[in-house]
Structure formats: structure tokens, C-alpha cells
Amino acid sequence: MDYKRILTVQDISCVGQCSLTVALPILSAAGHETCILPSAVLSTHTAGFSGYTVRDLTEDIPAITAHWQKEGICFEAVYTGYLGSAEQIRDVKEIFRTCAAENCVTIVDPAMADNGKLYPAFDMAFVDQMKTLAFEAQLILPNITEACLLTGYPYREIYDEAYISGLLDSLRAAGAKTVILTGVSYNEQTTGVVVMEGDSRRYYAHKRYAKGCHGTGDVYASAFVGAFLRGKTAYDAARIAADYTLRCIEVTRPDPSHWYGVKFEAVLPELIEALR
């Protein structure tokens, strides 16, 4: 097995099964040395909890990365999730330049929007900065809303395959290399992911649940990264990650008290088996 050192940059929600508290165990279970750079620390995530605390760590990032450079620490992959500001985006781009090993794989989840709307913390100036990061990366994992924001393509809630094809054309024209477009659903029963690599486009569909679960985007992205860096093709990694995320939802749904995330830990053995 190819043992890689991965850096993942995103926030820590101490309670809530998302961001780094998802990425670290999933990537580790996939067999990789997983290093972290927290962009912020929150007492809980922001969906459904109130009165949560937030500690922004933007000011700490340059000193951390300067120490890595001094020690000669570098990474064979860099994977970003939720970044809290345009300044953090610029910091990540600097990491791409200064802490990347030869042939480093760069993967960006442009976590900034869903359901046709930006997250409340962001504005279009942030989107413009995210474009510079996303189109520098080798792989991106946007949902449809994020893909539209990255390209200026008109957002639609109801669409067909021709619309998705046009969106992918726009991403490619803007500079995207490999795209994992998530949340693509052509009917009420299924949803799925489209994988674009050059001229190749493949769609993987799976069962759709009407009610989503918080943190599943982070679960999916982390499982994809873990599988891809194990040598799986982008399509196979996308399929493995989709199946794993669906299983996480299925084991969580019978427990209504577990509303704040998915029980991804209980299904990690299935992910490990799928990667063999």
C-alpha cells in the first residue's frame, strides 16, 4: 500500500461530526498519515446549535507553515475543506507553493454554498478568491451551487443532463482539471455524482433520502480523498465514497436523537474493506 502524508485544512467543530473531526479519522482509516491545519475551532457546528463559540485561527497559520518550512516538512497531498476567509485561501495557495512534495496532489472542496445560496459568512469577494484556489487545484469537489458560483453559470433547482453537461463545460473552460460534481439528481428517487476527467464524463447514481444529514459533504469528500490517494481511479473513488456516505446515513436514520451528524465511525470497517 502506498503510504502518503496528507495535509487537510479546515475547521474543527469539537462536537458535530463534520470538518476535521470527520476528515482525520476517515483519512487515517484509509491508511494515510493525516496532518491537520485547523482554520478555526468551534464548540459545535453551526447547524442546529445555538450559542456556539468560535476561535478564528487565521493569524496562526503563517507561523505554523513557516515552522514546517524550517523543518523541511512537506506533503504528498493537500486537501482543503471549509475555509473561513479570503486570507485563508491565500494561505493555502502559499502552502501549495512551499510545502508540497514533488507530484503533490491538490484537492479542493469549495465549501461555501448549497441550495442556490452562499453560506451566510461569505460574499462574492470570497467566491472570487475561491476561484483562484479551485482552478489551481488538480481536483475539485463542488456541489451544483458551488459549481455555478465558480463559473457564473445560471443556477437551477430543476435540470436535465444537458444542463449538467453545460455546467461541466463551463468548469472546464474556467480551468478545472478533474471535477467531482456532487448532488446531481435527475429524479426524486436517486442522486449521485458526475466525474469529469478531460473528455470523459461518468455518472454514478444511488438511492436518495428526502432528508439530508449534516456533515455528509465532509464525509463524502474525505472518503473520496482517502480512496483516490490509495490509487483508485477518480470514478471508483467517487463510487466508494458515495456508497460509504449512504451507509453512514442508513445507520444513523433509526436514531432521531442523533440529528447533528452521521455515525460514520460505525461504518469505517466497510470503507476499509471497500479499499482493499
Q: What is the largest CA-CA distance in the chain?
A: 53
Region 20-39: mean pLDDT is 97
Question: How far, rounded to the nearest angstrom, does the alpha carbon of residue 27 sit from its chain's CA centroid?
Answer: 12
Q: What is the mean pLDDT of the chain?
A: 95
DSSP 228: H
- The one-letter code for the residue type at 178 is T
**Which residues 6+ apart lie within 8 Å of 226 measured at CB?**
26, 27, 29, 30, 31, 32, 271, 275
Best CA proximity match to 78, nearest among 247, 246, 237, 229: 229
Cα–Cα dist 77/6, whole Å: 5
- The domain covering 5-255 belongs, at the CATH homologous superfamily level, to Ribokinase (3.40.1190.20)
Does residue 77 come out as left (phi exceeding 0), alpha (psi in the -120 to 50 range) or beta? beta
Q: Is the pLDDT confidence value at 1 over 60?
A: no
- Residue boundaries of the structural domains of the chain: 5-255
What's at 58, amino acid-wise?
A: T
| pLDDT per residue as tens digits for the range 202-242 | 999 998 887 778 899 999 999 999 999 999 999 999 999 99
Predicted TM-score (pTM) of this structure? 0.96
Mean pLDDT of 101-125: 95
pLDDT band at 270 (very low <50, low <70, confident <90, very high): very high
